[in-house]
Structures are given as structure tokens and as C-alpha cells.
Amino acid sequence: MSSTTEPTVVIVPGLRDHVADHWQTRLAERLAEAGRAVRTVPPLEGERLALDAQVGNLAATLAPLDGPLLLVAHSAGVITTVHWAARHRADVRGALLATPPDFGTPLPEGYPTRVELARNGWTPVPRGPLPFPSIVAAGADDPLGAPDRVAALARDWGSRLVELGEVGHLNPASGYGEWPLAEELLAQLEAGSARTAPAGERV
């Protein structure tokens, strides 16, 4: 439990298992080495495609934490976070939402179909403003979310949009084990500057 006013950083992965060279894993390690309080939502055993189970898993991770929170979500973890925010309240100071998938259009082969996503509760994705400051980091060539569709999500959520360029899905398969910008964006959220920065900026 966090005993200071410094926010606890909570890492919200997508539907994957633990990946040692993922930028979220490396970010958690660097922050912990620097003395920050960090928690990572563990992967579910069993029916991990069920949205209710994912939201419950995130809620259970947050429940024992005292004080303010900073959320760092990637991929389906972003959609889990948005659904969680529609059902729960906590002292969230900000959320970094990296490369959210677009569940409103068919995903590439090998990913859940729109029928499977709907059956498991993922759609419709909440589109109202989030109750905390947030930054959506979007790739120009993300196979899981076209830039205009992700920009629309950011706009509806009231998020600041940061355009990353050609980073794919911002995962090891796209060449991203390290993503140093995550710490910079997290610091901006912690400083309370997410709402005042220009929308759709490029980095």
C-alpha cells in the first residue's frame, strides 16, 4: 500500500501473458528501481476474453491501494480501463492510454472477431468523457486501429492525443521493448499538464 501522496503507478496490460521485453514491463522495472510504488495487473487465468473478468481484475488490483493513482494501459488494457472508469471511481490523477484497438471495425486475422468481442462484453466501448485527465498515444500504422478512428476515441474520452508516427502497435513485434516517451508522458500527467497541452501533437 502506498503511504505517500506520490501516485502509485498501475500498469494495465492487454490480453497477453507476462512479456519480459515489453515496454510496460521495462517501465515498471525502471520506476520500481527509482523508488516509485508500482503495481501491475496480473494476467487472468482461464476466460481472459471476458470483459467483466478483466474489469474485475483491474478493480481488485486497485482496491488495496491507498492514495492517488496513475494508470498506464496498452492495447486491450485501454478498453478495460475505459470500461472500469464507467463503473468505478478512484483517485486517478491521470491515465496514459497507448495504442487502443478499434473494436468498432474488424481486427486482423488471428484476433477476436466483432461477434466474439460483443459476446464477451467489450462492445459497445464507452465513449463518454473520462473522469480523469488522459493521454492517448496513437500510431500512424497501427494494424489494430486506424489513426482517424483512434483520434475519434481520444476526442470522445476528452483525452489529449499524441501522434507517435510509424510505431505499429507499440509492442515487441513492432520493435518496441523500450519506449522512453512513456516516462515523459507519465510525468506530464503527474504534473497535471495533460489537459492544457495541444491536441494531436506529433512526437
pLDDT tens-digit series, residues 159-182:
999 999 999 999 998 988 889 999
The predicted structure's pLDDT at residue 108: 95
pTM for this one?
0.93
Q: Residue 198: how many CB atoms within 10 A of its CB?
A: 8
Angle between the N-to-C axes of helices 51-62 and 76-87, in degrees from 0 to 180, rounded to the nearest 10 = 70
The predicted structure's pLDDT at residue 202: 61
Residue 2 has pLDDT above 50, yes or no: no
The predicted structure's pLDDT at residue 192: 86
Average pLDDT, rounded, for the chain:
92
The predicted structure's pLDDT at residue 45: 85
At 102, list the grid cell. 478499434
- The three-point CA angle 40-130-60 to 5° equals 30
Q: Among 175, 192, 159, which Cα is nearest to 73's? A: 159
Cα 195 to Cα 36: distance, rounded to the nearest angstrom: 24
**pLDDT per residue as tens digits for the range 60-114:** 999 999 999 999 999 999 999 999 999 999 999 999 999 999 999 999 999 999 9
The predicted structure's pLDDT at residue 194: 61
The predicted structure's pLDDT at residue 17: 82
